[in-house]
Amino acid sequence: MSRIEEALAKAAGMHAPAAEPRGIHTRTLPGLPRMPLSEDTSGERHVRLPEETLVVINNPLSPVAEEFRKLKEALVKMTKRERFDNLIAVTSSVMHEGKSITAINLAVSLASEYDHTVLLVDADLRRPSVHTYMGLGKCKGLSDCLREGLDVRDVLVKTDFGKLSVLPGGTPVPNPVELFSSEAVRLLFKEMKGRYADRYVIIDTPPVLPFAEARSIAGIADGVVLVVKEGEPSLGQIQETLQALDDKVLGIVYNAAQMQARTANYYYYN
């Protein structure tokens, strides 16, 4: 049985033999405060990331932070081969599996390296949450660029951590399927991908099974990181998700695993 098959079996509550998991212990994240934006003399908006959101900042020497660094290193190896596959979607099968927190921590971990600039895009336009986790409050973002033709540069938020910028989701959209099936979306992400040769674009997408737009984003992306929370999706749901994403899945982040006395663990299988 492969590592992915073992992860899927355990996620579905089935017995599977141990697969040399690289698990680590972490804590439940508390409620996150809203933090005010600041402005520099150039008028650009900046935000300092709440430590409660980011284990890689809150406790950089902890095992959980190290696990995100392992995820980052694995991603860099997979995406910097013959070509630079820098447009990466992070998704899940169903809601409440931790995809947004995973996307944020992965983006921050990548941005901590000298060689990488990172753009984190909140493309979950039904339930945009990156702005809440990062204390941005309500602000313009991706949906406003698509609907109103705003320039991405005018709504980007620079953070105070490494070379990380954020494109918030913007104004919630009741039915974003039409937006994501348009040529405008492909052109926008193509522009994001190509503007800087060294930049990763990490996209937080809606979950795959409830909403169609996640599949459209996967079709645009170079690769997909799938977050699986133990006990949340069934094995059938995970298999359906993998089929929907075709061959785009680079690996699975196994979240909230129960291993003996340990809880809320992250594992990565590729």
Predicted pLDDT of residue 11: 46
10 three-state secondary structure: helix
Q: In what order do the strands lie in the sheet with 117-122?
A: 38-39, 45-47, 157-159, 164-167, 117-122, 199-204, 87-92, 223-229, 249-259, 262-269
pLDDT tens across 231-248, in order?
A: 889 999 999 999 999 889
Q: Decide: helix, strand or coil at residue 37.
A: coil
Give the model's pLDDT for residue 22.
30
Q: What is the pLDDT of residue 133?
A: 84
Q: In the prediction, which pLDDT does 242 show? A: 95
Tens of pLDDT, residue by residue over 110-136, are 998 767 899 999 999 988 999 888 888
Contact predicate 170/155, CB 8 Å: yes
Nearest alpha carbon to residue 45 among 166, 131, 161, 157: 157
Q: Where are the domains of the chain?
A: 3-25+44-261
Q: How far apart are CA 104 and CA 55, in angstroms?
A: 10
CATH no., domain 3-25+44-261: 3.40.50.300
Global confidence as pTM: 0.78
**Residue spans of the chain under pLDDT 50:** 1-4, 7-8, 11-43, 259-264, 269-270
* First vs last C-alpha separation in the chain: 14
DSSP 3-state of 226: strand
